Amino acid sequence: MKRIFYFIILNIYISSLFSSDYKVLDIALQKIDYDENKFRYQTKMSILGDKPSYTIYSFNPVKTPKVELLEIDGRKPDKSDINKFLKNMNRDDSRGINTLLGKKYTFIEEKNGLSKYTYITEESLIPKKESKMLGEVLVDLNSESIKKITLYTKKEIDITVGVKLQEFLMVFVFEDYDDEFTIVKELNMSMKGKAFFKEFSQSTKSSLYAYEIIN
């Protein structure tokens, strides 16, 4: 009887640990669950590799259009640059971070003040394709906020005829804003694949800064 009692107490203790782990995750997820029009900010997007280049643009939800091209490789953009930029932005599948999250998370470990969770995204990387991504979340236990989200694929994806995506990696780095919100500070992306038997690869780094709340 005593052994059964200890077994019950042990299970209650283990359950309380896991519920505590997920409670912290829930608090952290709430801090990134805000309307994308809550802030205005600027972004510097750099294309890495043999021919590096960068673009700086702003996002302001009270303006039309919401995005404004400010600089390309150190020069002021001309009308052609602006039109091309706006066309690409309108065509871009710029989903918010919340659409890249999951509904079910698995606690993996706690190390150096960080809790790690894994999940599978609800939405696919490529619309109308079976291409859900695997995700990893790192939560700071002290601030109860997300520090990093990593998304990746493990299988080859047929994007269209003759084009295959073989590797994809997306890493969001976060920072706290006024102890109420957690905002994206950096986004790194890399991909590899084949287009009509020719290999391609691309890596980009986007730094987001000058955040201001829209009242």
55-104, pLDDT tens digit by residue? Answer: 999 999 999 889 999 999 999 999 999 999 988 887 554 556 777 888 89
Share of the chain above pLDDT 90, in %: 53
Per DSSP, helices labelled H in the chain are: 2-31, 79-91
Both tokens of 116, joined, read 């790690």
Neighbouring C-beta atoms of residue 47, cutoff 10 Å: 13
DSSP state of 77: -
Per-residue tokens: 127:
């619309």
Cα angle, residue 29 at apex, residues 23 and 34 outer, rounded to 5°: 140
Q: What band does 131 get if pLDDT is binned at 50, 70 and 90?
A: low
Is residue 29 within 8 A of residue 104, CB to CB? The reply is: no
Q: 10 Å Cβ neighbour count for 20?
A: 13
- Of 214, 208, 175, the residue nearest 94 (C-alpha): 208
Mean pLDDT, rounded, for 176-197: 90
- Predicted TM-score of the model (pTM): 0.83
Report the distance separating Cα 66 and Cα 89, nearest Å.
Answer: 10
* Most confidently predicted of 5-19, 48-62, 92-106: 48-62
In the predicted model, what is the mean pLDDT of residues 198-205? 90
Q: Tokens for 204?
A: 């980009």
Instruction: Identify whether the C-beta of residue 46 lies closer than 8 Å to the C-beta of residue 54.
Output: yes
Q: 175: how many CB neighbours lie within 10 A of its CB? A: 16
Instruction: Please identify which residue in the block is written with the tokens 């190390």.
Output: 111
Residue 8 has pLDDT above 70, yes or no: no
- Quote the CA–CA distance of 52 and 50 in Å, as a whole number: 6
